[in-house]
Amino acid sequence: MLVAGCGFHLRGSVSVPFDTLYIPNAKGGIALELKRNIEAGTSVKVVDDPKTADAVLELTGENREKIILSLTGTGRVREFRLRYTVNYRVHDAKGVNYVPATLVQLSRDVTYNDADILAKESEEQLLFRDMQSDMVQQVMRRLASIERAKPKAQ
């Protein structure tokens, strides 16, 4: 009763205004995870031919960075910032943009200790994997918010 009263509900499936979608180079990274999420969580069919697709989800860039945030007094790294950036756009075969070129950036700060090198490397990989999952959810929500142009009545 308490959970129902607060407005909580399961995420469920996403409503995307396309029947078919083409994702170029969906063989790894975020493109593959997006393809899997779209096929599993929506009624959209991901096709292999852009000519048969209602829309094209074009991932124009994916970048992972590791930036030094702070150093100790002896010049050793104390903190890193992990940054994950994805550029994408959604358009149709005629070039009409549903989502213009968009840059989405996520970052996480992580402490570092020379004594725990293996554990910190594992933590870094886990954080990048977590950021990729968050990025997929953000792109999915953006796809759900697309409004297609209605055909004009004569």
- Stretches where the chain sits below pLDDT 50 are 150-154
The predicted pLDDT at position 152 comes to 41
> Global pTM?
0.81
The predicted pLDDT at position 109 comes to 95
- Secondary element (H or E) of residue 43: none
The predicted pLDDT at position 95 comes to 81
Counts for the chain of helices (H) and strands (E), in that order: 3, 5
Q: E strands within 72-129?
A: 77-91, 97-111
For the chain, which residues make up each domain, given as ranges?
Answer: 15-144
Q: Which residues contact 150 (CB under 8 A, 6 or more apart)?
A: none
The predicted pLDDT at position 94 comes to 84
Going edge to edge, which strands form the sheet with 77-91?
45-47, 20-22, 55-71, 77-91, 97-111
CATH of 15-144 given 2.60.40.3140, 3.30.160.150, 3.30.590.10, 3.40.109.10? 3.30.160.150
The predicted pLDDT at position 151 comes to 41
- Contact yes or no for 113/88 (Cβ under 8 A): no
The predicted pLDDT at position 85 comes to 97
The predicted pLDDT at position 28 comes to 83
The predicted pLDDT at position 150 comes to 43
128-153 pLDDT per residue, tens:
999 999 999 999 999 988 876 544 44
The predicted pLDDT at position 153 comes to 43
- d(CA 16, CA 76) in angstroms, rounded, equals 48
